[in-house]
Structure 1
Amino acid sequence: MKTVKTLLVTALYLLFIITSDAQKIWPEQTSQTKPWTRWWWMGNAVNEKDLSASLAKYSQAGFGGVEIAPIYGAIGYEKQYIDYLSPAWVRMLDYTVATAGKLGMGVDLTTGTGWPFGGPQVTPEYAASKMIIRRYPSLKTGDTIKLAKDDETLQSLTGYAADGRIVDFMDKVDENGFLQWRIESGVWDVYAFFNGKTKQKVKRAAPGGEGFSLDHFSAPALKVYLHRFDTAFHQRSHGVRAYYNDSYEVYGADWTADFFEQFYKRKHYDLQSEIRSFYRKDSSETIARIKSDYREVMADLILNNFTRPWTQWAHQYKAISKNQAHGSPGNLLDLYAAVDIPECETYGSTYFPIPGLRRDSADIRNVDPDPVMLKFASSAAHVNGHPLVSSETFTWLTEHFKTSLSQCKPEVEQCFLAGVNHVFFHGVTYSPEAVKWPGWLFYASTNFVPSNSFWPHLPGLTNYITRVQSVLQTGKPDNELLIYWPIYDIWNNPKGNEITLKVHDIDQWLHPSAFYGQVVNLQKAGYSLDFISDNLLNNAVAKDGLISTSDVASPYKVLIIPASTMMPLGTLQKIIALAQQGATVMMEALPEDVPGLIDVKERRIELKKLLASVPFADNGIAKMGKGQIILAPDMQQALEQQGIRREALTDAGLKFIRRKAGADTYYYIVNHTPKAVDQYLPVNASAGTFIIMDPQTGDYGKAATNNTGVKIQLQPGEAFMLKATKDTTLQAWTYLDKSSAPIALDSSWTLQFTEGGPFKPAPVTMPSLVSWTTLPDTMTHSFSGTGVYQQSFILPATNAKEYVLDLGEVHESAHVWINGKDAGILWSIPFKARIGKFLKPGKNEIRIEVANLMANRIKYMDEQKIPWRRYHEINFVNINYTDFDASGWKLQPSGLIGPVVITPYM
């Protein structure tokens, strides 16, 4: 018989093994693996006491850092405003950084207020510019025209005669702005080109940040803009981790003062002689080519005159750069790759067919986030070897006060699946504790604020994200395909001037493309991939049959060229060179033409020569040097023929992303389908052991395998990590296979209302579970907060290996205690938890704390005309950008609806 001492030693040894395994199984969790949040400073009306209190709350809720975004202020608090970048403001920044540091948190800072970049230092000379073209038709001898305007600068004056003569008239303009010239003969069309100003000012500017928007194409303008920061910061670092730039929203900015010179330098022809191409409305090939050249130069200017020097400026302050490239008139991949942390954005909500996931058409915007759009940021990071990809997440996910934590989960999972591994919430608003409920709020936010009724349960979401990101920040991405993005097909368009590649316009510039179709089909088939631009492809090399895009990036097995019309000669030459070095290149179709205007005939001839030099055999394969180019109208068939394996788990409807960490491979696997998955599924990674890791709870165990694959059980809405590693002696994962008769907790519940308001309803006994808004006490109609349900139940003695608690219908999240022990936060679908370790035979006690939405309390306040939204600028609008008013809302169901059951698994 074992002694007590022996049993104690054994127990301690097992505890050590379990603790040791946990340390090895889950990567280290740091402030960087935690979610961060955008933090609006309204009016910069901050003080040390409330800054400290706020940061402490955010830390406790699971945030790893904040991103300060100064914004317009609340009415009535003007005396507390602090001018942006004033000495007092810089002191508040320093205090924030120091306080956050003591809490193990980081601080990022937008390089501006509101958006886009701009402010009082941006004089008209450096403000966003636009081209203005005026036509003076049918001018004859003796005609005089007045050209000059106070806010416009004449840059070009060109006459076109009926006989084909083109004359520069700039030297005929007098000092008063009049064209003084007696035309010798004929009738002329005269085009005057002006550098005008958009006159756009910073949107949602904070005090001290008001002014014109910046000209993002001008190097001198950026230098003037950043000089204000240099002066305020006294050229020293203030502990900011990253400087941030929001999505490009500089409306109508399609010019800069020296564009003619910059264009000639790059394209070697005079754009002034082609200026009527920007005036005419026809759709000729020549105009399309001129505008393609113009757009390419714009892309080069925003990359080299703004994005790269701004990043270098951040580095001077011992910080990094974080940038949202989308919306800009540039090559998104190049712009994302030029910064340290590329950041994408989710705007609106996605439809997921997960049973029970609430989605009211009246409470969502008609915008669906597209995971392909998100991959532009992650692809740029992966190709350049940058470790972090961030996302502005949950912007306008639903109407204010109606967003549940369960709705957040699949949306953030879609980001993870697209390669994001550094989530930023949108967001949190700084609010002094003295401001009454609901505190200060930002109009486009999901309101992850302490006044939100789901705040006590927010750690459920933040802990989940932290565990997922701890894995997705480990090692390197493991993607086998590299897909070329043919941007010249987008630029070769005779319509309009600048083309801003916006999230809201993807149905115009992204969805119709062959590139998009290939990406969607390949991912659905189970392939992992990244995108690459012409510029980034130029850095690639092939070695040992793999394609390397940087010294620190993971290599790729295949370069895929989707069907495209326009391709630069340099790109085709690079593709051929990669094949000769040993790469496998698959082309859906051969390019048809070259972009741009100059020497187009000669370049077309060279294109045909290059294509003719590729020795395609009858099977569509051209062996070249050490590699090959494959003409592949059916891309998936070609990949299979080349032995490029897909992940067949997508056949079950599952989605995944894969990371490689040394000899280990991690899979993040998600079930967004309406059906449960319970089967053995093949995975490509080979390993001695597969480990299931549950990011909801942190639990883990050795997965079951057979000759067909790994056993995967996922309910709709669930996700887990699968780690392929060497052999371990880890405990087996408990699968939920054979269930026995469920135990229904259908006796009476006591319900007591705890935190919340505006009134606290009296405790009640509920014979059956219903929404608390249907109870006789009318105080429950307006109550937003937490209600605690309690019941005792008898557990029969069984030999079950696990018990699963199913809460059924929950509005909107729950925290469960069983026999006084914390059984976890159930905040997402399915509202289930494994609770066997908390139960005992006989009598058990269960306590369920349920939080509802803020909506019913806001409805009450608007019905009673209790003021709570008084802000400058846009004030507070609803999801359709009209005045917010909740008085006509229906009551939102609240509380535990059930049925609540416990199912034993044998």
Structure 2
Amino acid sequence: MNGRKGFLTAAIFGTMFLAGSGLKAQTAGWPVVKKEMKPWTRWWWMGNAVSEADIKTSLTSFQQAGLGGVEIAPIYGVKGMEEKYISYLTPQWMKMLNTTVGTAESLGMGVDLTNGTGWPFGGPQISLDEAASKLIVQSYELKGGAKLAEKVKVKEPRQESAPLQFLTAYGDKGEVLQIADKVSADGTLNWSPKSGSWELYAVFNGKTRQMVKRSSPGGEGYTLNHFSHNALNTYLKRFDDAFEGSSPNVRAFYNDSYEVYGADWSEEFLALFQKNRGYDFRPFIREFISKEATTHQARLKSDYRETMSEMLLANFTEPWTSWARKHKGITRNQAHGSPGNLLDLYAAVDIPECETFGSSYFPIPGLRRDSADIRNVDPDPVMLKFASSAAHVAGHNLVSCETFTWLTEHFKTSLSQCKPEVEQVFLSGINHVFFHGTTYSPPKAAWPGWLFYASVDFTPANSFWQHMPGLTSYITRVQSVLQSGKSDNEILMYWPVFDAWNNAKGKDMPFKVHDIDEWLHPTPFYKNVKALQTAGYSLDFVSDLLLKKASAIGGMIRTAENASPYRVLVVPQSEMMPVETLQQMLSLAKDGATVIFQKLPADVPGLGELDKRKALLKDILSSLSFADSGNGVRKMILGKGKVIVSEDFQKALVMEGIQREAVTDSGLGFIRRQDGTSKYYYLVNHTAKVVNQDLPLNVGAKSVVLMDPQSGYTGSASFTSEGSGIKVKVQMQPGEAMIIRASSEVLTDIKPWVYLDSALPSIPVEGKWRLHFSNGGPVLPADKSLDKPADWTTFGDTDMDNFSGAGEYSVTFKLPKRKASEYILDLGKVNESARVWVNGQDAGILWSIPYQARIGKYLRPGKNTIRVEVTNLMANRIRYMDQKGIEWKKFHDINIVDINYKPLDASNWKIQPSGLAGPVVITPY
């Protein structure tokens, strides 16, 4: 059990910490807090039915709960509130936006704005011509001397106006002709072959006709063609007009994950393909749509996908970011799901954003995870690293995450379940968390208020809201460290996107979160990432384009001016690699970098000048001469640097003196930051075991400080130097996190960290317990006397079974005399979070496993009183409402669905355990 001498509670220290508390970064204290270091939340405006008074009330409540900002996301409305709807971007809507920005600023909060309503981008300003496009291909057969009887027009319903893009004719003797110029305006083909049998393929620019999903009033309309710069300009002009030439003063404009379905074409495609790939796409249309999967077809589709990626980057992401600059804002973007290179798209914005969807398994004892209440999908930390890698490589400090989407079934998420999930996000390099989320709800709205269909309800109506400062202060402390200095990852790993693109299946290739079993998990890239991280190496991913911008200086690889340098570039097994990429890798080596190949690339992607590029690759590879260095490692000196080939990256890394962090041998997860003369290690114990040992760290130090993000307490650690590193004594329970700050200079203003190594026999907290319900509903149950604490759902009391809110357990007991310097209170099992008072003094919010607190400073000899305020889930009250037919599901569009997207019906739910189950004990040390 880890010791926390002078334990500061989450509530007390949180108040001091969030105000800055006068601590200076160069001392042993926490970094001074900025609003970005606090968690932010997505704030859904239902029907935009908002008022100035309620905006101010809501933001004040959010600020008091520890939130640092909101992201406004207009969506569909509430039934019965139609008269209060405000049409999107009207002067009245802009007035509400200005009120939000002004109020947030007065509260020290920030505001981001979704650059649209619902998702994806689109709306009434987008005509069908500028809406998302799809490729429509129709084929015809024609004999020599015959005329085509039918018109060259689209047969698909609702696509009659789709313009012809080109018409390719294939003769049975190998002839390929372009004959679109022979088609008249009415679709008549004025061409007839002289002889032979011909196949004709007509290509049209169709429309997906996808509408904005979950749009708010005034935001309805077609989805934007994300591959068209002109369409983007049309879309953004509506905002220019609404802003009337002045900035709305939001911090960032936001774009949600790419969910544009079936959009696989744009009129700009042919010209860009010809320019960038070096050949005409039109003669290959028959092969492109053929069901015969060939290697030649895979190359063609690789070129097609590369071009689509370039279009999305150049025609949408980059100009959108430039537009935001014009309005004194920055951009936040979710690139995942896009049919493009995720790393390039993430890197092109100011704040790349990933998302978690579903629930992860953690073997933390006592962590609740009911299989009936979770989706059958686990968030993958490697997927999250695409966003953080792009940020680190491009030199952006902030990386955000839409966090907790569908973490559990509605109304069944506890704060304790949030902790390991958000910690996994932090370990992936994320440092700017957004809750998913908070629905705008007028204070007068009947409980449970206005709700969004896919969120954890971080709203004042949630029974855990009064304990939210426990979670928010924890996140703030962690993010204050993870936003300080720069990332500290030593390895740069190439992502072989061309291996994914070189696939004959399908047309466009969206890299979706839900499809990682297809495009990510089976790859050597993924397997190497997992193996290196498990071994204790820190890494980021790099794309061909980002690598092109890199340089080697002093043996290190620099990817951007503000980016941390990397010690080595590793290239996992990749079949397809552009010659230009290989040349850049070798150029980095010549300038002093170390480049390690798992295997040398075997081929080049695409079709353009294929023989020439293959020959060039062969020449380059034949010019490389490696010497056997033993242990399966081959090496060659190239200029100032070296090129290495090793199927086992770890053997090559060890040979090059790049040490792993052996801290992972204990089962702990970690991430590092470098801040001036200090290096921070953020450690998390997601195992079932207590960690109580001297942990080795690859850093030299004169001072080492332990920083407890749960309580906020800091103290100088016990450590020894060993070689070029140190060993630090750390004690962590399952479910706990710890931050180690190792500095090359002596830090001041620091007290020793006191470790608890000798536990005396535990003391049961015995006496007559009283249970009193302080707030909640549907009704406050009557008080109850107890011989020992127990869940209030075990008493057979209907009012207690239906209740959601707070119940206070209190007891007066005698503390026997012990020769002890400290006492640890352990609440045992808590359903779901607690706040503790000892002899009237606030001992903190215990909101996660382990539910323990250091209380020696509050105890006194003889008689003592403990009061424990416990809040349960919202589920039991929702169950009661559905059983009684009380209407609360009153929302347009999708209304409220369960975790499987079926209409939510809680009437058959089991009663959720609620209250303090115990046992409650105090352990002297």
TM above 0.5, one fold?
Answer: yes
Q: 1:219 aligns with which of 229, 232, 235?
A: 229
1:794 Cα offset (Å): 1.6
Closer/same/farther in 2, CA of residues 21 and 298 from structure 1, 3 Å limit: closer
CA distance in 1, matches of 2:721, 2:703: 13
Q: 1:714 matched to which residue of 2?
A: 732
Closer/same/farther in 2, CA of residues 897 and 552 from structure 1, 3 Å limit: same
Q: Say yes or no: does 1:645 pair with 2:659.
A: yes
Q: Say yes or no: does 1:661 pair with 2:636.
A: no
Q: Say yes or no: does 1:431 pair with 2:441.
A: yes
- Deviation digits for residues 223-257 of structure 1, max 9, x if unmatched? 00000000000121111000000000000000011
Q: 1:368 aligns with which of 346, 362, 378?
A: 378
Aligned letter for 2:474? Y
Q: 2:150 matched to which residue of 1?
A: 145
CA distance in 1, matches of 2:700, 2:372: 48
Aligned letter for 1:127? A
Tell me the TM-score normalised to structure 1 length.
0.97
Q: 1:286 aligns with which of 280, 293, 296?
A: 296
Q: Say yes or no: does 1:861 pair with 2:871.
A: no
CA distance in 1, matches of 2:371, 2:286: 46
Q: Say yes or no: does 1:249 pair with 2:268.
A: no
Q: 1:740 matched to which residue of 2?
A: 760
Q: SS in structure 2 opposite 1:639?
A: helix
Q: 2:860 matched to which residue of 1?
A: 840
Q: 2:795 matched to which residue of 1?
A: 775
Q: 1:52 aligns with which of 33, 56, 59?
A: 56
1:277 Cα offset (Å): 2.1
Q: 1:126 matched to which residue of 2?
A: 130
* 1:746–1:899 CA contact under 8 A, matched in 2: no
Q: 1:816 matched to which residue of 2?
A: 836
- Deviation digits for residues 89-135 of structure 1, max 9, x if unmatched? 00000011001111111000000000000000000110000001111
Aligned letter for 2:924? P
Is the deviation greater in 766-775 or in 735-744?
A: 766-775
Aligned letter for 2:338? S
Q: SS in structure 2 opposite 1:178?
A: coil
Q: Say yes or no: does 1:804 pair with 2:824.
A: yes
Whose RCO is larger (CA < 8 A, sep 6+)? 2
1:833 Cα offset (Å): 1.0
CA distance in 2, matches of 1:62, 1:570: 49
Q: 2:893 matched to which residue of 1?
A: 873
Aligned letter for 1:770? A
Q: 2:545 aligns with which of 535, 549, 554?
A: 535
Q: 1:610 matched to which residue of 2?
A: 620
* 2:28–2:714 CA contact under 8 A, matched in 1: no
Aligned letter for 1:839? L
Q: SS in structure 2 opposite 1:780?
A: helix
Q: 1:851 aligns with which of 863, 868, 871?
A: 871
Task: Output aligned runs, 1:784-803, within 5 Å.
Answer: 784-803=804-823
CA distance in 2, matches of 1:580, 1:384: 23
Q: 2:13 matched to which residue of 1?
A: none
1:753 Cα offset (Å): 0.4
Q: 1:727 matched to which residue of 2?
A: 746
* 2:700–2:721 CA contact under 8 A, matched in 1: no
Aligned letter for 2:394? N
Task: Output aligned runs, 1:459-858, within 5 Å.
Answer: 459-619=469-629, 620-706=634-720, 709-725=727-743, 726-728=745-747, 730-858=750-878
Q: 1:111 matched to which residue of 2?
A: 115
Aligned letter for 1:898? G
1:143 Cα offset (Å): 3.4
CA distance in 2, matches of 1:37, 1:562: 37
Q: SS in structure 1 opposite 2:36?
A: coil
1:20 Cα offset (Å): 5.5
Q: 1:99 matched to which residue of 2?
A: 103
Q: Say yes or no: does 1:446 pair with 2:453.
A: no
Q: 2:247 matched to which residue of 1?
A: 237
CA distance in 1, matches of 2:908, 2:73: 33
CA distance in 2, matches of 1:30, 1:544: 35
- Deviation digits for residues 415-461 of structure 1, max 9, x if unmatched? 10001000000000000112100000000010101000000001100
* 2:143–2:195 CA contact under 8 A, matched in 1: no
1:712 Cα offset (Å): 1.0
Q: SS in structure 1 opposite 2:309?
A: helix
- Deviation digits for residues 620-658 of structure 1, max 9, x if unmatched? 101011110110111111111111011101000000000
Task: Output aligned runs, 1:133-282, within 5 Å.
Answer: 133-137=137-141, 139-140=143-144, 141-149=146-154, 150-282=160-292
CA distance in 2, matches of 1:188, 1:51: 67
1:148 Cα offset (Å): 2.0
CA distance in 1, matches of 2:254, 2:628: 52
Q: Say yes or no: does 1:415 pair with 2:425.
A: yes
CA distance in 2, matches of 1:523, 1:880: 33
1:835 Cα offset (Å): 1.2
Q: 1:65 aligns with which of 69, 74, 77?
A: 69
CA distance in 2, matches of 1:642, 1:279: 48
1:139 Cα offset (Å): 4.5
Q: SS in structure 2 opposite 1:712?
A: strand
1:839 Cα offset (Å): 1.3
CA distance in 2, matches of 1:883, 1:137: 49
Aligned letter for 1:763? D
Q: SS in structure 2 opposite 1:368?
A: coil
CA distance in 2, matches of 1:604, 1:732: 64
Closer/same/farther in 2, CA of residues 19 and 304 from structure 1, 3 Å limit: closer
Q: SS in structure 1 opposite 2:564?
A: coil
Q: SS in structure 1 opposite 2:321?
A: helix
Closer/same/farther in 2, CA of residues 21 and 731 from structure 1, 3 Å limit: farther
Please identify runs of 4+ aligned residues in structure 1 that moved more than 4 A.
18-24
CA distance in 2, matches of 1:719, 1:277: 55
- Deviation digits for residues 691-740 of structure 1, max 9, x if unmatched? 10011111011111235611111111000110002234632112121100
- Deviation digits for residues 804-849 of structure 1, max 9, x if unmatched? 1111100000000111111110000111111111111221111100
Aligned letter for 1:192? A
Q: 2:78 aligns with which of 74, 77, 81?
A: 74
Q: SS in structure 2 opposite 1:158?
A: strand
CA distance in 1, matches of 2:86, 2:491: 51
Tell me the TM-score normalised to structure 2 length.
0.95
1:183 Cα offset (Å): 2.7
CA distance in 1, matches of 2:858, 2:141: 86
CA distance in 2, matches of 1:182, 1:599: 33
1:879 Cα offset (Å): 0.6
Aligned letter for 1:663? T
Aligned pairs, how many?
Answer: 889
Q: Say yes or no: does 1:397 pair with 2:416.
A: no
Aligned letter for 2:224? L
Unmatched runs of 5 consecutive residues or more in structure 2: 1-15, 155-159
1:778 Cα offset (Å): 1.3
1:316 Cα offset (Å): 0.6
CA distance in 2, matches of 1:687, 1:841: 42
1:800 Cα offset (Å): 1.7
Q: CA RMSD in A?
A: 1.3
Q: SS in structure 2 opposite 1:659?
A: strand
CA distance in 1, matches of 2:901, 2:288: 34
Closer/same/farther in 2, CA of residues 301 and 830 from structure 1, 3 Å limit: same
Q: Say yes or no: does 1:300 pair with 2:310.
A: yes
Closer/same/farther in 2, CA of residues 389 and 92 from structure 1, 3 Å limit: same
Q: 1:83 aligns with which of 87, 102, 111?
A: 87
1:138 Cα offset (Å): 5.2
Unmatched runs of 5 consecutive residues or more in structure 1: 1-14
* 1:144–1:180 CA contact under 8 A, matched in 2: no
1:768 Cα offset (Å): 2.4
Q: 1:895 matched to which residue of 2?
A: 915
CA distance in 1, matches of 2:468, 2:862: 33
CA distance in 2, matches of 1:631, 1:566: 17
Is the deviation greater in 598-607 or in 293-302?
A: 598-607
CA distance in 1, matches of 2:337, 2:491: 26
